Amino acid sequence: MDKVAAVVLAAGQGKRMRSDIPKVLHRVAGAPLVRHVLDAIEEAGIKEIIVVIGQGAEMVRETLGTDYTYALQEKQLGTGDAVLKALPYLSADCRDVLVVCGDTPLLTADTLVKVIREQQNTGSAAAVLTSIFDDPKGYGRIIRDKDGFVDAIIEDCDATAEQKEIKEINTGTYAFTKKALEDTIHRLNPDNKQGEYYLTDCIHLLREDGQLVTAVIAPAQETKGINDRAQLAAAEKLLRQRECRRLMDAGVTILDPATTYIDKGVRVGRDTVIYPFTFLEGKTEVGPRCTLGPGSRLIDARLGEGVAVQFSIVVDTNIGDHCQIGPYAYLRPGNKLADHVKVGDFVELKKATVGSRSKIPHLSYVGDTIVGEGVNIGAGTITCNYDGVKKYQTVIEDGVFVGSNTNLVAPVRVGKDAVIGAGSTITKDVPSASLAIERNKQTIIPDWKEKKKRKGD
């Protein structure tokens, strides 16, 4: 969108959040509140973005990175003062300015485009984004003239009893011409109960100057800001519903969207089925025809085609096609699984590379390990990778059979097609195609129970 800049108000502390974290950095659907706002602005085609920061300024800057211009509001003197701090950073060729609050994560790009187009196409000095709330308490009220144009915005604490009956509220999103903003913002004064510089007073000043101010009404569920933890949870629910609907529209089956938690931006292939109480977080990507859940959590996971994950946690792991994970498996960061791998119940993997058709069916820990193709690792196998100071690697080559209750003390290599006898503790390399057994000789004492009984007498 040419010659349009966006100013994002992200300087507030958010006292009702009862938090040391700046309000705009509280997370919904896997991202900070302000990140959702910025994504919507960028999707609307706006490239020039100024973020006004104040409370926790460095934390906000560090979280958002260097892609944006930052204006500092050292003292919280109101929205008008915040926008004033951003004006010097507007480019010379900027013609229109979109102002958005950083705590409105439900806004969509389509709505932002509508308010900008309303201001541009009507030739108005400003356009206000409004909503109709059944309970408008706490929000500024929209005062319209006899022709239906916006005449003023009255903050809730300054409104009369009659004005408080108005259901149309100010959402805090505006599109101004740059000239209209510059002409009015320097004339603001803090003559109100809050003692702050209200950006809303620019609307009244524009009307006094004979300028036209129009409005766009948006759905209430899209325009609600976040001021406390309850509203944060409500926004989380709405965004989660959006993500579920997006995936279902793309061909994904979600058995119960109300108990499925999917972060914004997660990608899922068609004909995948997601069972209840499944969490898909971060940059997770799931291929087609997978089965996820119930009761699973995937964080930054990458799954191929036809993968099944049940009652398991998968973190920062690449999983090939047609793998079976769980139930009750824990895949920690850094794993790479080839196709047709089975990781069964109560198995933990960490920085493990597992070749195709290999099986780790149950009750095992495999860490810092390279597992070849066609390997079978028996129940209770442990790769002992840590000596208290340093981590060491285990290598299990193709076709190896590891018997149950085996300890592989790293660094150690088990050669191709070797067999490890059950109950062994392997501390030395095992040659290919050999059998390795490490056990103490079994001792049998006859009539032990009777002897023990007599001794007790």
Rounded to whole angstroms, what are the CA distances from 397 to 170, 317, 356, 415, 440? 66, 21, 12, 5, 26
Q: What are phi and psi of 362, to 5 degrees?
A: -170, 150
User: Measured between alpha carbons, how far is 421 from 112 in angstroms, rounded to an integer?
Assistant: 67
User: Measured between alpha carbons, how far is 418 from 401 in angstroms, rounded to an integer?
Assistant: 6
Q: Which two tokens stand for residue 213?
A: 């101010």
In terms of Cβ atoms closer than 10 Å to its own Cβ (0-12, 13-18, 19+), residue 190 is middle
| H runs (alpha helix) in 101-228 | 109-122, 178-185, 201-208, 220-223
User: Measured between alpha carbons, how far is 386 from 408 in angstroms, rounded to an integer?
Assistant: 11
User: Measured between alpha carbons, how far is 332 from 281 in angstroms, rounded to an integer?
Assistant: 14
Reply yes or no: is the peptide bond before residue 257 cis, omega within 30 of 0: no
Angle at 52 between CA 159 and CA 141, to 5 degrees: 15
Annotated catalytic residues are 362
How many Å from the N-terminal Cα to the C-terminal Cα in the chain?
96
**101 with 223: CB under 8 angstroms?**
no
**442 with 429: CB under 8 angstroms?**
no
Count CB atoms within 10 A of the CB of residue 281: 17
**78 with 190: CB under 8 angstroms?**
yes
